[in-house]
């Protein structure tokens, strides 16, 4: 199986997720683009967001995903994240019902309690997807959905670009990045008991190129992908 290291063209120094996001937290919301995740979530036909009574937001970061869910009418959202710096900003945003410092693979949240489990832009930090999908399945109530938005493996392979940020020092820092092919998601999620019910990809298009003109050569390549996994009711 190929790994990200086989494609890495940047060779930035790499740190673990908690260290990296603690460092990125103060500038994160200014650098992340809604086209990567919120715009993709808006295109999904399911779940019916306003009918989701209780959501688990895994890798909740500064609360961007939680804020988006609130705007769709989701009223109870429990968030977990490993980075204290990101959680502090999520607390200030106030979109979540509860917030806890925990790993997405062992959240400590109640089992069978959520009709939505969501994780946006986090799975590239996990070496193996099985523990994530297994924990998501444990949290899920009958009929639940699990929505996963991922940095697209094709984009990672074409650009050789890890998830990274540039601190004040000006030297970019990569945050532990793992390559997961689409088939790895399907195998791990199916093995955990999920069924794939929708999938959508965000492409580098005109809207992207207005924000990132230097990516013109990448027009048409998929940048992110959203999976909707479901359980029978
Ligand atoms: C790119 S941010 C995405 C945050 C938010 N979902 C959003 O869309 O803005 C990735 C988040 O995942 C968190 N994270 C990475 N690995 C994690 C893990 N194993 N357990 C919990 N959180 C993790 C990071 O600390 C970071 O806040």
Ligand 1 proximity of 178 Cβ (cutoff 6 Å): no
Among 27-36, 115-124, 128-137, 162-171, the minimum mean pLDDT is found in 27-36
- Where do the domains of the chain lie? 4-230
Residue 105: the pLDDT is 98
CB 162 within 8 Å of CB 12? yes
| CA 124 to ligand 1 centroid distance, Å | 10
Q: Is the sign of the CA dihedral 49, 54, 57, 58 positive or negative?
A: negative
Per-residue pLDDT, 211:
87
Mutation test of ligand 1: which of 104, 125, 180 has the most ligand atoms closer than 8 Å to its C-beta? 125
CA of 58 to the centre of ligand 1 (A): 7
pLDDT value of position 208: 86
Instruction: Please report the pLDDT score of residue 154 as a whole number.
Output: 97
Cβ–Cβ under 8 Å, residues 207 and 140: no
Any atom of ligand 1 within 6 Å of the Cβ of 136: no
| CA 141 to each of CA 46, 53, 100, 104, 145: distance values in angstroms, whole numbers, following the listed order | 16, 11, 21, 17, 9
| pLDDT score for 207 | 87
Q: Using the atom order of ligand 1, give the atom closest to the CA of residue 103.
A: 20
The answer, yes or no, to whether residue 195 has pLDDT greater than 90, is yes
Sign of CA dihedral 39, 42, 46, 52: positive
**pLDDT digit string (tens) for 20-51?**
999 999 999 999 988 889 999 999 999 999 99
Q: Is the CB of 82 under 6 A from ligand 1?
A: yes
Q: What is the mean pLDDT of residues 155-168?
A: 97
Average pLDDT over residues 131-148: 98
DSSP helix/strand/coil, 146: strand
User: Could you tell me the distance, in angstroms and rounded to a whole number, from the CA of residue 96 to the centre of ligand 1?
Assistant: 15
Name the pLDDT band for 65 (thresholds 50, 70, 90): very high
Nearest alpha carbon to residue 16 among 166, 155, 173: 173
CATH class of the domain whose range is 4-230? alpha beta
Average pLDDT of 66-82? 97
Dump pLDDT digits (tens) for 198-218: 999 999 999 889 988 999 999
Burial class of 90 by CB neighbour count within 10 A (0 to 12, 13 to 18, 19+): buried
Whole-number pLDDT of residue 232: 86
Mean pLDDT, to the nearest integer, of 113-119?
98
**d(C-alpha 114, C-alpha 127), whole Å:** 25
pTM exceeds 0.85 for this model: yes
- Burial code (b: 16+ CB inside 10 Å, e: under 16) for 3-28 equals ebeebbeeebebbebbbbbbbbbeeb
């Amino acid at each position: 199986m190929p790994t990200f290291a086989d494609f890495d063209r940047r060779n930035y120094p790499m740190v673990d997720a908690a260290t990296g996001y603690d460092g990125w937290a103060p500038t994160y919301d200014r650098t992340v683009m809604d086209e990567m995740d919120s715009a993709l979530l808006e295109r999904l036909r399911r779940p019916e967001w306003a009918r989701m009574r209780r959501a688990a937001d895994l890798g909740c970061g500064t609360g961007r995903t939680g804020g988006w869910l609130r705007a769709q009418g989701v009223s109870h959202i429990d968030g977990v994240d490993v980075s204290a710096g990101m959680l502090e900003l999520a607390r200030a945003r106030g979109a979540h019902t509860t917030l806890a410092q925990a790993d997405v693979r062992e959240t400590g949240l109640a089992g069978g309690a959520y009709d939505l489990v969501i994780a946006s832009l986090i799975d590239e930090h996990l070496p193996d997807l099985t523990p994530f999908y297994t924990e998501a399945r444990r949290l899920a109530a009958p009929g639940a959905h699990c929505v996963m938005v991922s940095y697209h493996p094709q984009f990672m392979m074409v650009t050789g670009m890890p998830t990274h940020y540039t601190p004040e020092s000006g030297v970019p820092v990569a945050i532990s990045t793992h390559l997961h092919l689409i088939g790895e998601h399907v195998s791990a999620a199916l093995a955990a008991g999920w069924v794939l019910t929708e999938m959508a990809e965000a492409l580098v298009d005109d809207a992207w190129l207005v924000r990132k003109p230097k990516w013109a050569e990448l027009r048409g390549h998929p940048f992110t992908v959203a999976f909707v996994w479901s359980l029978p009711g």
